[in-house]
C-alpha cells in the first residue's frame, strides 16, 4: 500500500490557497450584489413612477470552482494565478435580467450602463445579431465598484438581458445540449432553430399587443437600435 506523507507545511499552504480562493470569489459575490441592488432599485422606481414593472425575474450565479477551472483550460491559460484569472475570465459573477419585452431589455441595459459608477467593458448584442443556433440575448460585461475595508475594487460582472421567450428557448437549448453532450441530432438542431424563430415572432406579437392595449400608436414605435459592440 502506498503511503502519502503530508507535511505540516503542505497543509498550511493548502489552507492559504483555499482562503485566498474564497476571498477571490467573495469579491465577485460583492460585485454581483451591487448589480442586483441597482437592478432592484430600477425595478422599484419604475413600478412607483410608471405603475409598470419591466422586469419579470432576476437570477444571479457565481461560477463554480469546477467551471472556472474548465474555462481556464478551454482558454488555454498557462500557469494561471489570481491576477490572470481576474483579467481573462470576466463572467465569474453573472446576473441575468429577464424582461417582458425587447424594448424593456434595451431600456434596462441603457439605464444600468449609463450610471456614473459603471464602466462598460464589452457588449455583445445577440438580439440584433443572433447566434447561428438562434440564441438571443444582450450581454454586457460591466465593472462595478465595491468598497472593501482595504479600499475600492472594480469587479467585472456579466449581465445578460433577455425576454421571457428568449429565456425559455435558451434554457431548453441548454438542457438539450447537456443531455446530448453537445452532439445534438440534426433534426433537433433544426427544431430548435424553428423554435427560436417562433419565440422571436411571439416577442414581436406580444409587444405589439401590449403597446396597442396601452394606447401607443404603432407608427410612434421605433425599432430598438442595436447596442454598439465593444470588445
- Give residues in contact with ligand 0O2 (CB under 6 A): 63, 91, 94, 124, 131, 133, 135, 139, 170, 173-174
46 or 163: whose CB is closer to ligand 0O2? 163
- Smallest gap, in angstroms, from Cβ of residue 179 to ligand 0O2? 13
CA atoms within 13 A on the CB side of 202: 14
Grid cell listed for 42: 430600477
- Smallest gap, in angstroms, from Cβ of residue 192 to ligand 0O2? 9
Q: State the Cα torsion 90-93-98-101 to the nearest 10°.
A: -30
Judge contact between 142 and 118, C-beta under 8 A: yes
Residues 6 or more apart in contact with residue 166 via CB below 8 angstroms: 127, 136, 137, 199, 203
Q: What is the spatial order of strands in the sheet that 93-99 belongs to?
A: 55-62, 93-99, 151-163, 138-148, 119-125
Distance CA(107)–CA(104), nearest Å, equals 5
Distance CA(45)–CA(50), nearest Å, equals 8
15 or 174: whose CB is closer to ligand 0O2? 174
Helix or strand run (H / E) with residue 146: strand 138-148
- Smallest gap, in angstroms, from Cβ of residue 224 to ligand 0O2? 19
- Smallest gap, in angstroms, from Cβ of residue 98 to ligand 0O2? 13
46 or 203: whose CB is closer to ligand 0O2? 203
27 or 91: whose CB is closer to ligand 0O2? 91
The residues carrying an active-site annotation are: 158
Cβ burial, residue 110 (10 Å; 0-12/13-18/19+): exposed
Q: Nearest 5 degrees, angle CA 146-CA 72-CA 35?
A: 25
91 or 104: whose CB is closer to ligand 0O2? 91
- Smallest gap, in angstroms, from Cβ of residue 124 to ligand 0O2? 5
Residue nearest to ligand 0O2 (CB): 135
Amino acid at each position: 500500500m502506498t503511503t502519502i506523507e503530508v507535511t505540516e507545511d503542505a497543509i498550511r499552504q493548502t489552507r492559504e490557497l483555499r482562503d485566498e480562493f474564497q476571498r477571490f470569489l467573495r469579491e465577485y459575490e460583492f460585485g454581483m450584489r451591487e448589480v442586483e441592488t441597482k437592478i432592484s432599485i430600477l425595478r422599484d422606481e419604475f413600478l412607483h413612477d410608471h405603475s409598470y414593472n419591466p422586469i419579470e425575474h432576476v437570477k444571479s450565479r457565481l461560477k463554480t470552482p469546477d467551471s472556472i477551472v474548465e474555462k481556464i483550460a478551454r482558454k488555454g491559460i498557462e500557469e494561471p494565478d489570481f491576477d490572470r484569472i481576474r483579467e481573462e475570465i470576466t463572467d465569474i459573477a453573472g446576473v441575468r435580467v429577464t424582461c417582458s419585452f425587447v424594448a424593456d431589455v434595451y431600456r434596462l441595459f441603457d439605464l444600468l450602463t449609463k450610471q456614473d459608477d459603471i464602466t462598460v467593458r464589452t457588449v455583445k448584442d445577440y438580439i440584433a445579431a443572433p447566434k447561428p443556433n438562434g440564441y438571443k440575448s444582450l450581454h454586457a460585461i460591466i465593472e462595478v465598484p465595491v468598497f472593501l475595508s482595504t479600499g475600492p475594487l472594480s469587479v467585472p460582472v456579466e449581465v445578460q438581458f433577455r425576454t421571457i421567450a428568449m429565456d425559455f428557448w435558451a434554457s431548453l437549448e441548454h438542457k438539450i445540449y447537456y443531455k446530448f453532450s453537445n452532439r445534438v441530432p440534426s433534426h433537433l438542431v433544426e427544431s430548435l432553430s424553428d423554435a427560436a424563430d417562433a419565440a422571436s415572432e411571439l416577442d414581436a406579437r406580444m409587444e405589439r399587443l401590449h403597446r396597442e392595449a396601452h394606447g401607443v400608436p404603432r407608427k410612434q414605435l421605433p425599432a430598438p437600435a442595436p447596442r454598439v459592440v465593444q470588445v
